[in-house]
Amino acid sequence: MSQAEKKARLSARDRKVMALAVAFLAMGTIVGSGFLAENISETRARQYLLRAVGQSSGVVLNGERLSDPSVVLAALRRITHLPAHHSSPTDPIRITLQNGPDRVGLIIARDSDRPQEFWVYRPGSNWHNDPLGQDAGRLVSRDLDEYLRSHRL
């Protein structure tokens, strides 16, 4: 065996290090892809709901049509991405946005730690099989909190 061939061969230790590096790179790619897909899904759901809110003229809250939907619509215009803080959504509140014959459903749920923060969902299938639906982000609104409490929600 020539000197160049001896240098070209990797030791067992070098092969283990390379295998670990490839494994970590593969895992990082998989995990990163999952986070990216989740972020894209949330962004699309949020954009869809924000468009619907912008076109809505009526709101049905847990089956009751609101005579003045302005507080609810104003709060829903503030849907955004907020970082997680190890809490969870509480009792879901079903909302239907109405624009003439068009209807768009969504679900909000008060945060378990922060009563003026609401989790927002687009009902339907989602990455995590969450029964509330596809995560669309969060909104923070003292006015919505007070309004819902006045309606015993």
Nearest CA to 50 out of 130, 116, 139 is that of 139
Q: Point out the least confidently predicted range of 25-29, 81-85, 91-95.
A: 25-29
Q: Is pLDDT above 80 for 80?
A: yes
pLDDT at 12: 79
Give start and end residues of each alpha helix (H) in the chain: 3-8, 12-55, 70-76, 142-150
Better pLDDT: 71 or 33: 71
> b/e string for 58-88 if b means 16 or more Cβ within 10 A?
ebbbeeeebeebebbbebbebbeeeeeeeee
Task: Please give the model's pTM, rounded to 2 decimal places.
Answer: 0.79
pLDDT at 26: 76
pLDDT tens, residue by residue, 6-61: 556 777 788 888 888 778 887 877 877 767 767 777 889 899 999 999 999 899 99
Q: Is pLDDT above 60 for 4?
A: no
pLDDT at 79: 96
